[in-house]
Amino acid sequence: MWRVGGAMGVACLIDLPRESDLRNRAVACSRSIQNSKGFGMRLFVATSMRIHAVFAHRRTTCWRSRLPMAAFAGIVGILLAGPQRDVVAEETKASDRPNIIYILADDMGYSDIGCYGSEIATPNLDALADNGIRFTQFYNTARCCPTRASLLTGLYPHQAGIGHMMDDRGHDGYRGDLNRNCVTIAEVLGQAGYRTYMSGKWHVTKTVQPKDESGKHNWPRQRGFDRFYGTIHGAGSFYDPNSLTRDNHLISPYADSQYQPETYYYTDAISDHAVRFIEEHRDQIDQQPFFMYVAYTAAHWPMHALEKDIAKYRGKYDAGYQAIRDARYQRMIDLGVIDAGSTINWPIPDAWKLTKFLDWDIRNMEVYAAMIDNMDQGIGRIIASLKATGQFDNTLICYLQDNGGCAENYGRGKIGPPREDKPTLPPLADDYLEPDMQPKQTRDGYPVRVGKGVMAGPADTYIGYGRGWATVSNTPFREYKHWTHEGGVSTPMIVHWPARIDRRGELEKTPGHLIDLMATAVDVAEADYPEIFHDGQSIQPMEGKSLLPTFAGRPLQREAIYWEHEGNRAVRRGDYKLVAKGAEGQWELYNIAADRSEQNDLATQQPQIVKELAALWQAYAERANVFPLKPRPLGH
């Protein structure tokens, strides 16, 4: 422990147990000094900022070498005596680097936002697209938590320890927890002088209800984020989310003194806290750039939405599944996000459509649309806060989705009961912490209902929107969330950065993958990706490529892009994609440039290409902890 103090009696203590604490405590020192006045205060504010810069900025080696205390104290002494013009230069450089905001939506298909062909109103995302770039061949990993692991770390999910879900399956690629051989974007940018914020869904640790503080070792604050508001678990009620956390403490939305809206709705809460972080950053530490990760749970089941938003879509889907899909397909062609020559608007099989309960399923889609609409409203508030604080032009915003539309049958398997006339269960106390993904009851005592006929939207329902509408969401691609065909792994990707991107409303056809988001952040932040971190642990090299060249219309050079989830496998090299369903499934081969709907399997016609791509995938799987395919959870 060492002490910085001086002219106005200002002092602070900074403990240096490990790299992840050094930056935060140096910044805390800066804040405490700012409470003083006069020349001495200005000197020490500048000095504190220089301490932060020297030990955080990318050119330093202190993060890796962990200097002895005597050497550290010597550098502090040099900084105290050093010329202030260096401080000014460092501040100027920091202010030139952009803010970075990554926005991730949940369980939505390629065609689900307006600028990619949807009838759902997303004017704020559309405006970002009109003044930025839309990628037409961007990819995720086909599932919630593997996508989050890849986005955060720049690695394929098995390399980060999350090849499946949040359970330990006895192999390093399937631990259900971020490992210590990876770093998050927040950890890397934090050491480069960025403040780091997160609002939304975490879902990269199996420890949701820790017994003590050590159980939070993979919570956001322990993985580089300065502030956090959101859920640790991967799904829950939008009115009463389980595992809701502020910074490092589980909270109830109904006993949260810092946030009490008239109606609690989780999508609004995620947006509102993103706005709060932006405004507080401006008011408190405006001299630093920031990284923010906004991870919505919209439009993951349950289909929960506010009545004011549902009302906009009442009757919108009465024409049924195929008519909505046909209209989307034509708009997508008109917008240029797909090509008529390389896609087929194949008809939705009758078996995937409901007839007896069609009105009920139309209501499900109305609520689904309302969820996306509400998310876009929140993104609009985030944009407005950036403009109000003068940060919009030099903020890189990227929007994407974690997997394709979800055909899971959650809450749809039986005929559901009607709503009770009055509550039948005791009300819950305001400070009650909801433990369940699907609550047993609402706060005011109504049982939570599932099943056909239960009209989605309110807090006492818990239903998914099903295969028919998921097929509409994924127009015109095959398969869904879980699978590595195009319907499972294709995502919109909107990039907006007025200060650096001159392209306005253009389409970018270069294939990309969310592993590229770490490399992009490191590039634009002028950060160093570490070789050693977490108390001397070796860190795996980034797998992704910086997207910065594509912002100027230049190509990327890459060997291939890879996937595996639940035995579903794929590799794409150039225009050719090799893909299989299930661990025992046969390889299928498609020329994506000519057949992105994956309707014409070329495997028997092009055996040499199959052999080459299969060998590439095998080499990837062996080095990336993919094997064994589909291991069983420990204890099963």
Specify the pTM.
0.86
Number of neighbouring beta carbons within 10 Å of residue 546: 18
**Catalytic hit among 203, 233, 534, 565:** 203
pLDDT attached to residue 169: 86
> One of 12, 29, 115, 144 is an active-site residue; which one?
144
Question: Which pairs with CB-CB distance under 8 Å and at least 24 residues apart come from 589-592?
Answer: 589/613, 592/137, 592/342, 592/486
Q: What are the residue ranges spanned by the domains of the chain? A: 2-96, 99-311+326-551, 561-623
The domain 99-311+326-551 belongs to what CATH superfamily? Answer: Alkaline Phosphatase, subunit A (3.40.720.10)
3-state SS assignment for residue 450: coil
Distance from C-alpha of 170 to C-alpha of 635, rounded to nearest angstrom: 10
Query: What are residue 571's DSSP bridge partners?
Result: 562, 578
Please count the other Cβ atoms lying within 10 Å of the Cβ belonging to residue 416.
19
Of 624, 602, 628, 627, residue with least CA distance to 613 = 602
In 3D, which of 208, 162, 198, 206 has the Cα closest to residue 181?
A: 162
The reply to whether 273 belongs to the active site is: no
CB 403: neighbour CB atoms within 10 A? 27
**Cα dihedral 52, 56, 60, 66 in deg (nearest 10):** 90
- pLDDT tens readout for residues 323-381: 999 999 999 999 999 999 999 999 999 999 999 999 999 999 999 999 999 999 999 99
Distance separating alpha carbons of residues 158 and 550, to the nearest angstrom: 27
Q: What does the pLDDT read at residue 575?
A: 98
Q: Is residue 459 within 8 Å of residue 237, measured between CB atoms?
A: yes
> Would you state the structure tokens that stand for residue 397, as one six-digit string?
């915003």
pLDDT value, residue 636: 58
With a cut of 50, which residues of the chain have pLDDT below it? 1-92
Identify the CA nearest to 288 among candidates 59, 48, 62.
48
Rounded Cα–Cα distance for residues 160 and 149 (Å): 6
User: Is there a catalytic annotation at residue 115?
Assistant: no
Please report the pLDDT score of residue 95 as a whole number.
Answer: 60
Is residue 196 within 8 A of residue 291, CB to CB? The reply is yes
Architecture of domain 561-623: 2-Layer Sandwich (3.30)
Position 29 scores a pLDDT of: 44
